Amino acid sequence: MPTVDAQPSPFGFDRDSTALLVIDMQRDFLLPGGFGESLGNDVAQLRRTIEPLTALLTAWRAAGLPVIHTREGHDSDLSDCPPAKLARGPMIGQPGHFGRILIRGEYGHDIIDELRPADGEVVIDKPGKGAFYSTDLSEILEKSGITHLVVTGVTTEVCVHTTVREANDRGYECLVLADCVGSYFPEFQRVGLQMIAAQGGIFGWVAESPALIKEISR
């Protein structure tokens, strides 16, 4: 069984029951001039994940292992946007540099070119922070016999954390790759990763992508 050096302990997994989850690597969040930057955030903090995640995807695909991508966004009429979310994010649906913000089908809603999904890879559109809420992710994982998730994407403290917590409650074992997840706020990045591996791995394990690449490339 492949085993990765991780915190708080080594992470073992079976290739046949492990999927790579790439969360919300969307233009609106990562591109200069996009929604994220319009809020005053430093998109460089997220863009540092692109290079290691590209390398991981190359190795993962070469090993023939499953990849699942997610995109956060809403129907054009915002009918699937919870009122509380819209109240705290009134810019959702408004015109942005890359089209209407967080609206499916707009240029900014789609995944960045560097990490474009390959043919046959699952892309899940989610209206919430977590990848399980109001999506068919559970059914997809169960049908494929997936029990372990390698989690990457943005942002560490919001969509990544929410998804890992949801996965943990559903019995999935999660490995979060520190160099392949990102936050606009360095302190949130540091603490968010610590929280996942705290108390013996309360939500999962944390490792660096080269250690995983080495295992799947054997």
Phi-psi region of 82 (alpha: psi -120 to 50; beta: other; left: phi over 0): beta
Cα–chain center distance at 185? 16
- Per the annotation, the verdict on 126 as an active-site residue is yes
In order of their start, the domains of the chain are: 3-216 (3.40.50.850)
Segments in the chain forming alpha helices (H):
27-30, 35-38, 44-47, 50-62, 83-88, 137-144, 161-169, 186-201, 209-216
Phi, psi of 193 (to 5 degrees): -70, -40
Which candidate in 28, 110, 126, 129 is catalytic?
Answer: 126
pTM: 0.98
pLDDT in tens, 112-166: 999 999 999 999 999 999 999 999 999 999 999 999 999 999 999 999 999 999 9
- Per the annotation, the verdict on 159 as an active-site residue is yes
pLDDT in tens, 14-31: 999 999 999 999 999 999
Sign of CA dihedral 101, 182, 213, 207: negative
Q: Which residue has the tokens 């966004």?
A: 73
Phi, psi of 160 (to 5 degrees): -65, -50
Which candidate in 24, 129, 174, 180 is catalytic?
Answer: 24
Q: Checking DSSP bridges between strand 67-72 and strand 122-126, what pairing results, if any?
A: parallel
pLDDT in the model for residue 16:
97
Q: Are 182 and 156 in contact (CB under 8 A)?
A: yes
